[in-house]
Amino acid sequence: MLRHKTGVRFLREPVTEKGMATRQRLLDAAERVFGKDGYHDASIAEITREAGVGLGTFYEYFDSKESIFQELVRYMSHELRRRIAERVAAYPSRAEKERVGFQTFFEFVLEHRDLYWIVLQSQFVDEETYKWYYRRLAEGYLRGLQEAQANGEVTVQDLDTLAYALLGMGSMLGMRWVLWENRLPPDEVIETLGKLVMAMLHAGSSPG
């Protein structure tokens, strides 16, 4: 049994392709079940039925409903950050990275519409996991902003506040358009967002 830095216990990572595929099926099933039923009404039996595996198989990978829920939050965080990192890598300027990063986030939420609900629930299941989710996003954002600041692309000094403010913009716009209306934000929304982001990146410069 291992212990993740957020405090949750989980079994050793599978080493075979079959084991990794089974673990992934459980996580995918957990995403659907927790999204549909909520944490408290969801059951391990329902997750295993959704995954098409036996109940005993579940305990080869996770030791409780809480452990698979916490691992699901970490997994979704990892997948979101990986997707954004891969997409923005080809773009040299910070402004382009911001535009592509926001667009990628909206697309990810459209694919994983239960993300908001699952992360929100984590606040009540395990507050440390909830905090970890947003801190991990902010840490990666902060590193990118620090590089851009060193290159002269960002003039604002308080990068920690900037990182959380940008995350908040993306989160609320994703809720407004993707979660509530089940579609990507219109082009004019992306255009306005881009202008706001540019103003925020250069908030520390002189007028004009």
Domain boundaries, the chain: 2-201
Average pLDDT over residues 186-205: 91
SS (H, E, C) 120-139: HHHHHHCHHHHHHHHHHHHH
Over the chain, what is the mean pLDDT? Answer: 92
Class (C level, CATH) for 2-201: mainly alpha
Provide the 10 A C-beta neighbour count for residue 67: 18
What mean pLDDT is predicted for residues 130-135? 97
Residue 92 pLDDT > 90, yes or no?
A: yes
CA distance 22 to 26: 6
pLDDT of residue 145: 96
Is pLDDT at 200 greater than 90 in this prediction?
yes
4 pLDDT exceeds 60?
Answer: no
Q: How far apart are CA 110 and CA 127, in angstroms?
A: 25
**Amino acid 203: pLDDT:** 85
